[in-house]
Amino acid sequence: MFDLTNRVALVTGAGSKNGMGMATAVGLAECHCNVVIADLDIEGAQRNAAVLESMGVESMAVKVDVTDRASIDAMVQSVIDRFGKIDILVNIAGMTQPIRTIDLTYEQFDKMLRVNLLSVFSVTQAVLPHMIEKQYGRIINMSSVSAKRGGGVFGGAHYSASKAGILGFAKNLAREVVTDHITVNNICPGLIGTDFRRSATGLSDEDERKLWEDVPLKRPGTAREVAAAIVFLASDEAAFITGEEIDVNGGAHID
């Protein structure tokens, strides 16, 4: 199961060393998938692409700003020029910002929607014609438990709104492209031990530990545990699953 030989995946937000994007890229490469690493951070993307090459798959690093349509179009064209197709798209690039609604500015809300939600629309729309042409595709978006129950200390209402918007977008798109053999699904992680949230919140180790105590499993999730769910949804075996989300949260939210 989960043999992705000759498949090509594009993973946005995969340029950081310990994030879910890189963990996903590694998981896909372990299934023999060729993986394009796209990120604002081109040095990080290049470092991660070199790691994948050392695993024996083809990889490529591309600089992209997912809020900029010209940059997105250039990214997609460079992948098509190199590989001729995109079978799997994983939309992971995103930001968070812990802030109370009373203090939130219109500009902050607008930026959050552009980075986390409109980016998913723009990247997906740029990739879709190539999937429709091949009559095959797997699209997996990074939502969050915050989409379903509010974000707590790690994200404001604008973060939760952006991640909830992804779920609605994906469910609608899933219906549109199901007969093109393209599936569209989402991942909703809970607290995951990446560098992302710590840098956004400036929490101490002790504060972090208190948060894990609220998770029934009493620990943060790992990026690899999230990647495993993404690799499953990217597989041929997941062909009959679309418009769904998988919660990866240690029991913190069950619906």
Q: Which residues are catalytic?
A: 159
Cβ atoms of residues 10 and 36 within 8 Å: yes
Comparing C-alpha atoms, which of 202, 54, 168 is closest to residue 35? 54
Provide the minimum distance between the beta carbon of 246 and ligand NAD in the complex, in angstroms, as a whole number: 12
Closest to ligand NAD by CB, 43 vs 237, is 43
69 contacts: CB under 8 Å, gap ≥ 6: 122, 126
Cβ atoms of residues 252 and 190 within 8 Å: yes
**251 burial class (0-12, 13-18, 19+ CB within 10 angstroms)?**
exposed
Q: Which residue is nearest to ligand NAD (CB)?
A: 19
Provide the minimum distance between the beta carbon of 15 and ligand NAD in the complex, in angstroms, as a whole number: 4
Closest to ligand NAD by CB, 4 vs 66, is 66
Residue 79 in tokens: 């992948």
Provide the minimum distance between the beta carbon of 82 and ligand NAD in the complex, in angstroms, as a whole number: 19
Give the binding site for ligand NAD (CB under 6 A): 12-13, 15-16, 19-21, 39-41, 64-67, 92-96, 115, 142, 144, 189, 191-192, 194-197
3-state secondary structure of 252: coil
3-state secondary structure of 182: strand
In angstroms, what CA-CA distances link 140 with 9, 15, 68, 91? 11, 17, 20, 6
Closest to ligand NAD by CB, 171 vs 224, is 224
Closest to ligand NAD by CB, 178 vs 217, is 217
Cα(155)–Cα(163) distance, integer angstroms: 10
Cβ atoms of residues 237 and 7 within 8 Å: no
Provide the minimum distance between the beta carbon of 236 and ligand NAD in the complex, in angstroms, as a whole number: 25
Closest to ligand NAD by CB, 136 vs 194, is 194
Provide the minimum distance between the beta carbon of 32 and ligand NAD in the complex, in angstroms, as a whole number: 23
3-state secondary structure of 139: strand
